[in-house]
């Protein structure tokens, strides 16, 4: 992959220049409290490097899914505050994205200072399907950077989106690839090109429909595929088992049956839960018991993999030379149903192989459960982007960097 990098930009000289950085600061909030600042911390190396070289750094990012207009509950104010704490200096938040507030904040920036623009998704043009609308917003963002400006793409969690601040702005400003994006792509190439074997993938999460493409592609590459989480029940149903009130995507049964047949044909070991924690309701304090995965009572729903499955999965991970994990094994937000996710994470961390946690809920689970992050070779910042890459899709935010403005 031939792209211009952040190091190339620094070598050219950035002192006194405005540099627009697309970061991924889409953190989970409880009110105005950030519950997992992993993505904010992941953005720091690029911001520090630019600020240290004297650039005037303008950060653009999104939070949540506002409907293309300002919404106070999706303001980046808590992120600006946390970013300032971590950088050790105030990070002003512009009152708007490309309006008078943004221009005022950007004009006041001194060399080596960092400012954050308000939520880019407060402008409907960011996610518009109309190329002219996106290009218009990209032009206004580029104007903030000025004639000597540059663009650094460092939000890996959004590079699979064809959006104004990710894709179109890279066609207006000289574009460079940030260190975070480069590191993520290097890890994904390791997983797809010549992974050390045995190569084991663990997939969880709620819906099998979210992972159809990645499962289809991985069946051509992996040695073992372990399936947990809510998506496991559609696989169990496809095998003819009762799943009670567990999460089920009946419209995916034919597709899943095809996956089971394909795995068998290719000699891929596809491993499903052998027992689950079956609960009376979806609640943190629900009454529950471990039951065989082939005999879930009709009035119960599976909310986690059971103790036998935890042991089974740990055994299947023990000799892995390469591991990719995406998706929790159960409702890890509830303490009673976090044990399966914890067991899988601990089994991965115990191994000696190259291990990648595929962002999203998996990364959040590692931190929420208090597991040491250095137990994994890499914790991704982009769940959706990682999955689309493993699915074999082109990532627009990467392809545009390869074009080179």
Instruction: Catalogue the active-site residues.
Output: 39, 207, 360, 384
Q: Are 246 and 301 in contact (CB under 8 A)?
A: yes
Instruction: Determine the 3-state secondary structure of 294 from DSSP.
Output: coil
The neighbour count for residue 354, using CB atoms within 10 Å, is 19
Q: Is 65 annotated for ligand binding?
A: yes
Q: Is 63 annotated for ligand binding?
A: yes
Q: Is 205 annotated for ligand binding?
A: no
Q: Is 362 annotated for ligand binding?
A: yes
C-alpha span between 363 and 382 (Å, rounded): 9
- The radius of gyration of the chain's CA atoms, rounded to the nearest angstrom, is 22
Q: Is 360 annotated for ligand binding?
A: yes
Q: Is 84 annotated for ligand binding?
A: no
Residue with token string 């917003």 = 137
Residues forming a β-bridge with 227: 203
Q: Is 121 annotated for ligand binding?
A: yes
Q: Is 171 annotated for ligand binding?
A: no
Q: Is 217 annotated for ligand binding?
A: no
Q: Are 358 and 326 in contact (CB under 8 A)?
A: yes
Q: Indicate the helix (H) or strand (E) that contains 26.
A: none
Q: Is 62 annotated for ligand binding?
A: yes
Would you state the structure tokens that stand for residue 278, as one six-digit string? Answer: 């079956």
Q: Is 48 annotated for ligand binding?
A: no
Question: What are 48-54's contacts with CB under 8 Å, separation 24+?
Answer: 48/87, 49/6, 49/10, 49/179, 50/6, 50/10, 50/14, 50/19, 50/21, 50/152, 51/87, 51/112, 51/113, 51/114, 52/112, 53/10, 53/13, 53/14, 53/15, 54/14, 54/15, 54/16, 54/111, 54/112
Helix axes 360-368, 383-390, angle to 10 degrees: 130
Q: Is 25 annotated for ligand binding?
A: yes
Q: Is 333 annotated for ligand binding?
A: yes
What backbone phi and psi angles, to 5 degrees, belong to 127? -105, 10
Q: Is 289 annotated for ligand binding?
A: no
Q: Is 161 annotated for ligand binding?
A: yes
Q: Which residues contribute to the annotated binding site for (2R)-3-phosphoglycerate?
A: 39, 121, 161
Q: Which residues contribute to the annotated binding site for substrate?
A: 24-26, 39, 62-65, 121, 161
Q: Which residues contribute to the annotated binding site?
A: 24-26, 39, 62-65, 121, 161, 211, 302, 333, 359-362
Q: Which residues contribute to the annotated binding site for ATP?
A: 211, 302, 333, 359-362
């Amino acid at each position: 992959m031939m792209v211009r990098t952040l190091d190339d930009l620094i070598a050219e000289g950035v002192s006194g220049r405005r540099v627009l950085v697309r970061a991924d600061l889409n953190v989970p909030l409880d009110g105005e409290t950030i519950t997992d600042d992993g993505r904010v911390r992941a953005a720091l190396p690029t911001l520090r490097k630019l600020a240290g070289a004297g650039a005037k750094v303008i950060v653009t990012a999104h939070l949540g899914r506002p409907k293309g207009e300002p919404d106070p509950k999706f303001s980046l104010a808590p992120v600006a505050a946390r970013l300032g704490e971590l950088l050790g200096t105030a990070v002003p938040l512009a009152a708007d994205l490309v309006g008078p507030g943004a221009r005022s904040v950007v004009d006041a920036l001194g060399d080596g200072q960092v400012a954050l623009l308000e939520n880019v998704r407060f402008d409907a043009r960011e996610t518009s399907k109309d190329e002219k609308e996106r290009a218009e917003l990209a032009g206004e963002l580029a104007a903030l950077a000025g004639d000597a400006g540059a663009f650094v793409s460092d939000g890996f969690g959004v590079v699979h989106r064809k959006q104004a601040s990710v894709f179109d702005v890279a066609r207006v400003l000289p574009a460079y690839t940030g260190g975070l994006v480069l590191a993520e792509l290097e890890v994904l190439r390791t997983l797809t090109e010549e992974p050390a074997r045995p190569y084991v993938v663990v997939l969880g999460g709620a819906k099998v429909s979210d992972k159809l493409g990645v499962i289809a592609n991985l069946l051509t590459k992996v040695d073992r595929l372990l399936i947990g989480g809510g998506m496991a029940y559609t696989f169990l149903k496809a095998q003819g088992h009762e799943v009670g009130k567990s999460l089920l995507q009946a419209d995916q049964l034919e597709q899943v049956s095809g996956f089971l047949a394909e795995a068998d044909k290719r000699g891929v070991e596809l491993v499903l839960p052998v027992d689950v924690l079956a609960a009376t309701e979806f609640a943190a304090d629900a009454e529950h018991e471990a039951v065989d995965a082939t005999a879930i009572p009709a009035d119960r729903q599976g909310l986690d993999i059971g103790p036998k499955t935890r042991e089974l999965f740990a055994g299947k991970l023990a000799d892995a030379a390469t591991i990719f994990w995406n998706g929790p094994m159960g409702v890890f937000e509830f303490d009673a149903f976090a044990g399966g996710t914890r067991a899988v994470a601990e089994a991965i961390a115990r191994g000696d192989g190259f291990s990648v946690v595929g962002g999203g809920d998996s990364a959040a689970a590692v931190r929420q459960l208090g597991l040491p992050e250095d137990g994994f070779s890499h914790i991704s910042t982009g769940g959706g982007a990682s999955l689309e890459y493993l699915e074999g899709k082109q990532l627009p935010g990467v392809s545009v960097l390869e074009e080179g403005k």
